[in-house]
Structure 1
Amino acid sequence: MSITLSSSLSVIRYSIIILSAFISMYIYPYDNYGKFTLVMLLFLSLTVLERSLHNLSAKRLILCVEVIFSAWLCTTYGHLMLFVSLSTLLSYAFLPAVSLLRLMAFGIHLVLLNLAFQHEQPLWIICTNLIFLLLSILLSLLRHATGDRKEIIHLYDELRKKHYELDETRKRLVEFNHQVEVAAQSSERQRIARQLHDDIGHRLIRVKMMMEAAIQIMPTDAPRGYDMMLQIRDQVSDSMDNMRNTVKRMHPITSLKDEYAIDRLLENIGRETGIHTSLTIEGTPFPLYPSIQIVLYKNAQEALTNALRHGQATSIEVLLDYQDNEIRMSVSNNGIVGEPPAQGKRQLGMGMSGMQERIQLVGGSVDIRWAYPFTVVTRLPVYKSSEII
Structure 2
Amino acid sequence: MDKLEVMDRLQRLSIEQDKLTRKLIDGEQRFRALARSVWSVQEEERKRLARELHDGIGQTLTALKLRLATMEASPEKTEALEITEIALSEARQLARLLRPAVLDDLGLAHALEWLCQLIQDQAEIQVSLRISGLEERLPPDMETLLFRLAQEALTNAQKHSRASIIDIRLTCTDQRVTLCIADNGIGFDVDQACASERDGFGLRSMRDRVELFSGDFSIKSSRNSGTDIFVNLGR
Question: SS of 1:265's equivalent?
Answer: helix
Question: SS of 2:166's equivalent?
Answer: strand
In the alignment, what sits opposite 1:258? 106
Cα distance change of structure 1 residues 300 and 236 upon mapping to structure 2, 3 Å threshold = same
Confirm or deny that 1:237 pairs with 2:79.
no
Aligned partners of 2:114, 2:193: CA distance in 1, in Å? Answer: 36
In the alignment, what sits opposite 2:230? 377
What do residues 334-357 of structure 1 show as CA deviations (whole Å, max 9, x unaligned)? 111112224995355332222123
Paired residues of 2:61 and 2:87 also in contact (CA < 8 A) = no
Deviation at 1:359, TM superposition (A): 1.4
Gaps of 5+ in 1: 1-183, 212-228, 383-389
In the alignment, what sits opposite 1:270? 120
Aligned partners of 1:236, 1:210: CA distance in 2, in Å? Answer: 11
Deviation at 1:245, TM superposition (A): 5.0
Structure with the largest fraction of strand: 2
Paired residues of 1:365 and 1:380 also in contact (CA < 8 A) = yes
Deviation at 1:317, TM superposition (A): 0.1
In the alignment, what sits opposite 2:141? 291
What do residues 23-77 of structure 1 show as CA deviations (whole Å, max 9, x unaligned)? xxxxxxxxxxxxxxxxxxxxxxxxxxxxxxxxxxxxxxxxxxxxxxxxxxxxxxx
Paired residues of 1:275 and 1:314 also in contact (CA < 8 A) = yes
Cα distance change of structure 1 residues 344 and 196 upon mapping to structure 2, 3 Å threshold = closer
Gaps of 5+ in 2: 1-49
Aligned partners of 2:123, 2:132: CA distance in 1, in Å? Answer: 27
Cα distance change of structure 1 residues 257 and 319 upon mapping to structure 2, 3 Å threshold = farther
Question: SS of 1:349's equivalent?
Answer: helix
In the alignment, what sits opposite 1:351? 202
In the alignment, what sits opposite 1:313? 163
Aligned partners of 1:254, 1:340: CA distance in 2, in Å? Answer: 33
Question: SS of 2:185's equivalent?
Answer: coil
Aligned partners of 1:339, 1:246: CA distance in 2, in Å? Answer: 37
In the alignment, what sits opposite 1:331? 181
What is the letter of the counterpart of residue 167 of structure 2?
E
What is the letter of the counterpart of residue 204 of structure 2?
S
For the pair shown, the structure with the greater C-alpha radius of gyration is 1
Aligned partners of 1:242, 1:284: CA distance in 2, in Å? Answer: 37
Question: SS of 1:267's equivalent?
Answer: helix
Identity value in percent: 22
Aligned partners of 2:131, 2:210: CA distance in 1, in Å? Answer: 21
Deviation at 1:297, TM superposition (A): 0.4
Aligned partners of 1:270, 1:280: CA distance in 2, in Å? Answer: 16
Question: SS of 1:380's equivalent?
Answer: strand
What do residues 164-216 of structure 1 show as CA deviations (whole Å, max 9, x unaligned)? xxxxxxxxxxxxxxxxxxxx989x6476444444x5467x38x95893xxxxx
Question: SS of 2:232's equivalent?
Answer: strand
Cα distance change of structure 1 residues 233 and 316 upon mapping to structure 2, 3 Å threshold = same
Instruction: Note the 1:159-178 alignment, pairs <5 A.
Output: none
Aligned partners of 1:373, 1:343: CA distance in 2, in Å? Answer: 14
Aligned partners of 1:381, 1:332: CA distance in 2, in Å? Answer: 21
Question: SS of 2:161's equivalent?
Answer: coil
Cα distance change of structure 1 residues 259 and 276 upon mapping to structure 2, 3 Å threshold = same
What is the letter of the counterpart of residue 373 of structure 1?
G
Instruction: Note the 1:1-389 alignment, pairs <5 A.
Output: 189=55, 192-197=58-63, 199-200=64-65, 204=68, 211=74, 229=75, 233-245=78-90, 253=101, 256=104, 258=106, 260=108, 261-283=111-133, 285-342=135-192, 345-347=195-197, 348-371=199-222, 372-382=225-235
Aligned partners of 1:232, 1:360: CA distance in 2, in Å? Answer: 54
Q: How many residues align?
A: 178
Relative CO higher for 1 or 2, CA cutoff 8 Å, sep ≥ 6?
Answer: 2
